[in-house]
């Protein structure tokens, strides 16, 4: 159950917030539990129906291996690498089915557009940093579909950089993507206490946690950060930031 109450701030930073950086899945986009084997089984059936079960198992294991590497070594990957590791050649029809299978799981949180608009109205920069194997083009197609692409000042998708969250370079790249140079003036918003909260705070950002997601056990990292605030809806962010940016006497 969601509550409208904000948790107390745990880190005292006097710098005003000038940019808000968002995780995507489980934060801007709603969290869904996904049967990964079923997804890959449907995809594999268009590659080789007779071997679809075998191919699906290999693809699931390959994807699992790259997410374990992300967790432990903070190194990025791509969909193409997953297929290479699984020794599966993706066809155009299979790629179209892969995107179709994921389409229902890319829906925005209901208050995402209003929240991004509110942040922009306040003169704040808005960015995205997503641990993803998908291309920039794919993410931008989704954002354009949902009418938020023009509300995002900059984005970093780990499929096109060497690192994943919580590596410091991933956060610094996202900060630079929106034209910021001071981490203390950035707020990172995410659903994971390891990747998002701990990672952001390690580079000097504040971090707000949205506890929507059932993080898979194998993706939970070695440390859980203590957020500066916890929000249960995106729409709670603008008033939270107002409290931080309120002029002091």
What is the mean pLDDT of each successive set of 10 residues along the chain, which is 249 residues long? 36 80 94 91 97 97 95 96 97 96 92 97 97 96 95 98 97 97 97 94 96 69 85 96 82
Last residue of a domain, one of 54, 72, 104: 104
Q: Is-above-0.85 flag for pTM?
A: yes
> Per-residue b/e over 34-55, b at no fewer than 16 CB within 10 Å?
eeeeebbbbbbbbbeeeebeeb
- The CATH number covering residue 172 comes to 3.40.50.1000
- Please tell me the predicted confidence (pLDDT) of residue 224: 79
Looking at the fold, whether 88 and 189 belong to one and the same domain comes out as: no
Confirm whether 223 is domain-assigned: yes
Three-state SS for 156-191 is EEHHHCCECCCCHHHHHHHHHHCCCCCHHHEEEEEC
Domain boundary among 54, 80, 104: 104
111 & 97 share domain: no
pLDDT by residue (tens digit) across 175-202?
A: 999 999 999 999 999 999 999 999 999 9
**Pair (117, 219) in one structural domain:** yes
Closest to 77 (Cα-Cα) out of 163, 165, 139: 163
134 sits in the region (left: phi over 0; alpha: psi -120 to 50; else beta) called beta
Residues 142 and 91 in one domain: no
Q: Are residues 124 and 224 in the same domain?
A: yes
**Tens digits of residue pLDDT in 45-79:** 999 999 999 999 999 999 999 999 999 999 999 99
From 104, 133, 153, give the residue that closes a domain. 104
Provide the domain limits for residue 217. 19-30+107-245
Same domain, 51 and 24: no
- Are residues 83 and 142 located together in one domain of the fold? no
Say yes or no: 152 and 235 in one domain.
Answer: yes
173 and 209 together in one domain:
yes
> Does 24 lie in the same domain as 40?
no
In the chain, how many domains are there?
2
3-state secondary structure the chain: CCCCCCCCCCCCCCCCCCEEEECCECCCECCCCCCHHHHHHHHHCCCCHHHHHHHHHHHHHHHHHHHHHHHHHCECCCHHHHHHHHCCCCCHHHHHHHHHHHHHHHCECCCHHHHHHHHHHCCCEEEEEECCCCCHHHHHHHHHHCCCHHHCCEEEEHHHCCECCCCHHHHHHHHHHCCCCCHHHEEEEECCHHHHHHHHHHCCCEEEECCCCCCCHHHCCCCCCCCCEECCCHHHHHHHHHHHHCCCC
**47 assigned to some structural domain:** yes
Task: Specify whether 240 is located in the same domain as 127.
Answer: yes
């Amino acid at each position: 159950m969601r509550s409208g109450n904000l948790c107390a701030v745990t880190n005292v930073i006097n710098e005003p917030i000038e940019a808000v950086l968002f995780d995507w899945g489980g934060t801007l986009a709603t969290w869904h539990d996904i049967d990964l084997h079923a997804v890959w089984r449907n995809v594999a059936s268009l590659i080789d129906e007779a071997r679809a079960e075998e191919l699906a198992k290999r693809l699931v294991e390959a994807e699992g291996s790259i997410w374990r590497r992300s967790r432990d070594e903070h190194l990025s990957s791509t969909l193409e690498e997953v297929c290479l590791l699984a020794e599966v050649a993706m066809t155009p029809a299979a790629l179209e089915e892969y995107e179709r299978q994921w389409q229902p799981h890319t829906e925005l949180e209901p208050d995402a557009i209003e929240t991004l608009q509110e942040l922009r109205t306040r003169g704040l920069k808005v960015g995205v940093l997503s641990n993803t194997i998908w291309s920039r083009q794919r993410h931008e197609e989704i954002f354009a579909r949902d009418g938020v692409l023009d509300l995002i000042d900059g984005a970093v998708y780990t499929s096109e950089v060497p690192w994943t969250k919580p590596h410091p370079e991933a956060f610094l790249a996202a900060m630079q993507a929106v034209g910021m140079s001071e981490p203390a003036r950035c707020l990172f918003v995410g659903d994971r206490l390891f990747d998002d909260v701990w990672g952001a705070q390690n580079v000097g950002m504040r971090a707000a946690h949205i506890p929507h997601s059932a993080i898979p056990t194998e993706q939970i990292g070695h440390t859980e950060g203590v957020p500066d605030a916890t929000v249960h809806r995106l729409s709670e962010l603008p008033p939270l930031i107002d409290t931080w940016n309120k002029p002091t006497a």
